[in-house]
């Protein structure tokens, strides 16, 4: 077994934070109890020092600049790592659902119904919690561009599910700004 | 005593066979020497290979998956390695090249779900404490701006510089229309000739 690869030590960029929170929101759109699952996964993974309760967990997610009520204080690297680990664990639990969305072997009509359900829930959550004036949010709500962006979110979760997905997803969240 | 390790995920089954490397002080339940592996992808041929083939497989599949997370499907695998993967028609094509001369490569199409099943099997192998085969796991790295650039459509990439150049041109034209300040008129001689006293 190889040692854990070394990650560059620096906090997530603004874009990285936006993506991380959007992925967590996608997990909530897939699982109606996703918000609760995040809290108990955080406890189960021993992250209570970072996120002692659901309010603190929610506050850390609110450092996403796309939120309606965004917090100015920057998230620390340990807190970002904690959120990424929670997302990896959620994706691991939701993997059968992610897989059925991505599979081309599913009946097309059923697949389309599943995508419509996911996109509908994600849009509801976006309208409720995110700032609709931001172009990043508008693109997700856009009927032309939205479906492809939703597919990218699901694919990202599927390819970073489980503990090994942590380094892969973290590296991607630290990509250079384009 | 032959040991076996299996990793299964819906469409993918990876089975490792090997022996414990007792000389390296490993337990008798740990695979330290790989004698072979087999990889079955749903509805496709079952592949078999040695450690080098497994290494070549993870050398291309994991960086490819890493790129996809950033929305960049970059082909992986040079001409001289046994495994390559590339995007084809919205799917992924895994190419296995035989070491036998005059044997055409085997090309396996994978959809997004089959690719993530394969990645999950490789991830489980990486985590498995019962496998101590010396394998190099590629370390995921953040992508540079140049690697991400082609992800954006051309129109959006050139929009900002073009707007800048256009704004500069407009400002230049407007500035050239402004009247240039006239040079100050020559001041009348302020010095009066001294009167001569008599």
Q: How is A16-82 classified by DSSP, letter by letter?
A: HHHHHHHHHHHHHHH-TTHHHHHHHHHHHTT-TTT--SHHHHHHHHTT-TTBSS---SPPPHHHHHH
Give, in order, the Cα–Cα distances in Å from B80 to each of B56, B59, B96, B104: 11, 13, 11, 14
- CB pair distance less than 8 Å for B131 and A156: no
| The two three-digit tokens of residue B60, written as one number | 């291309």
To the nearest whole number, what is the mean pLDDT of chain B?
88
Q: Which residues of B80-97 are buried (b: 16+ CB within 10 A; e: fewer)?
A: ebbbbbbeeeeebebbbb
Q: Which residue of A has its CA nearest to B30?
A: A1
pLDDT of B195 reads 60
Range B85-110 average pLDDT? 90
Closest partner CB to B145 (pick from A98, A171, A178): A178
**Residues of chain B with C-beta less than 8 angstroms from the C-beta of A100:** 113
- What DSSP designation does B50 have? -
Distance CA A135, CA A141 (A): 10
Burial of A80 (0-12, 13-18, 19+ CB in 10 A): buried
More confident residue, B51 or B42: B51
CA B179 from centre of chain = 56
- CB pair distance less than 8 Å for B116 and A175: no
Nearest alpha carbon to residue A171 among A95, A89, A90, A80: A80
Percent of chain A with pLDDT over 90: 76
- Assess contact for A65 and A14: CB atoms under 8 A: yes
Distance CA A81, CA A79 (A): 5
Q: How far A53 CA lies from chain B's nearest CA (Å)?
A: 30
pLDDT of A72 reads 80
Q: How far B41 CA lies from chain A's nearest CA (Å)?
A: 14
Q: What angle do CA B23, B27, B32 make, to 5 degrees?
A: 60
pLDDT of A9 reads 64
pLDDT of B196 reads 60
Question: Would the pLDDT of B158 be above 50?
Answer: yes
- CB pair distance less than 8 Å for A162 and B149: no
Condensed to tens digits (0 to 9), the pLDDT of residues B111-127 reads 999 999 999 999 999 99
pTM of the model: 0.84
| The two three-digit tokens of residue A43, written as one number | 């406890």
Q: Which helix (H) or strand (E) holds B51?
A: helix B51-69
CA dihedral B140→B146→B149→B155, nearest 10 degrees, is 180
pLDDT of A2 reads 43
- CB pair distance less than 8 Å for A155 and B126: no
Range B158-165 average pLDDT? 88
CA dihedral B44→B48→B49→B54, nearest 10 degrees, is 50
Distance CA B81, CA A173 (A): 30
pLDDT of A5 reads 46
Q: How far B147 CA lies from chain A's nearest CA (Å)?
A: 9
Q: Which residues of A114-129 are buried (b: 16+ CB within 10 A; e: fewer)?
A: eeeebbebbbebbeeb
Where exactly are the structural domains of chain B? 3-72+111-145
pLDDT of B193 reads 58
Range B74-92 average pLDDT? 92
- CB pair distance less than 8 Å for B10 and A178: no
pLDDT of B191 reads 58
**Residues of chain A with C-beta less than 8 angstroms from the C-beta of B89:** none
Flag residues of chain A having pLDDT under 50.
Answer: 1-6
Closest partner CB to A176 (pick from B71, B128, B145): B145
CA A110 from centre of chain = 24
Closest partner CB to A164 (pick from B10, B115, B126): B126
- CB pair distance less than 8 Å for A163 and B127: yes
Range B36-59 average pLDDT? 90
| The two three-digit tokens of residue B87, written as one number | 């995007």
Distance CA A59, CA A64 (A): 10
Q: Which residue of A has its CA nearest to B131?
A: A1
CB atoms within 10 A of CB A37: 19
Q: How far B132 CA lies from chain A's nearest CA (Å)?
A: 6
| The two three-digit tokens of residue B74, written as one number | 């970059």
């Amino acid at each position: 077994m190889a040692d854990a690869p070394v990650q560059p030590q620096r906090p997530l960029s603004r874009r990285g934070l936006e993506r991380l929170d959007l992925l967590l929101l996608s997990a909530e759109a897939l699982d109606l109890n996703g918000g609760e699952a995040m809290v108990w996964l955080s406890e189960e993974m021993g992250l209570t020092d970072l996120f002692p309760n659901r309010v603190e967990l929610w506050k850390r997610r609110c450092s996403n600049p796309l939120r309606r009520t965004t917090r100015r204080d920057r998230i620390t690297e340990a807190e970002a790592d904690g959120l990424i680990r929670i997302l990896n664990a959620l994706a691991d639990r939701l993997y059968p659902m992610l897989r059925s969305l991505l599979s081309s072997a599913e009946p097309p009509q059923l697949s389309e119904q599943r995508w419509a359900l996911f996109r509908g829930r994600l849009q509801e959550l976006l309208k409720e919690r995110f700032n609709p004036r931001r172009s990043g949010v508008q693109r997700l709500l856009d009927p032309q561009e939205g479906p492809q962006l939703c597919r990218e979110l699901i694919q990202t979760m599927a390819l970073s599910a489980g503990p090994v997905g942590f380094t892969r997803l973290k590296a991607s969240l630290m990509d250079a700004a384009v | 005593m032959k040991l076996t390790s299996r990793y299964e995920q819906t469409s993918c089954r990876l089975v490792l066979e090997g022996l414990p490397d007792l000389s390296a002080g490993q337990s008798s339940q740990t695979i330290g020497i790989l004698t072979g592996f087999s990889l079955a992808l749903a509805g496709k041929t079952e592949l078999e290979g040695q450690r080098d083939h497994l290494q070549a497989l993870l050398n291309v599949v994991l960086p490819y998956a890493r790129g996809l997370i950033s929305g960049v499907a970059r082909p992986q695998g040079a001409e001289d390695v046994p495994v390559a993967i590339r995007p084809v028609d919205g799917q992924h094509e895994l190419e296995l090249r035989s070491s036998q001369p005059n044997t055409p490569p085997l090309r396996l199409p994978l959809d997004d779900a089959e690719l993530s099943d394969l990645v999950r099997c490789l991830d489980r192998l990486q985590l498995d404490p019962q496998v101590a085969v010396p394998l190099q796991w590629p370390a995921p790295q953040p992508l540079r701006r140049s690697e991400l650039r082609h992800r954006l459509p051309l129109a959006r990439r050139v929009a900002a510089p073009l707007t800048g150049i256009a704004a500069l041109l407009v400002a230049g034209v407007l500035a050239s229309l402004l009247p240039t300040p006239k040079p100050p008129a020559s001041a009348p001689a302020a010095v009066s000739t001294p009167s001569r006293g008599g």
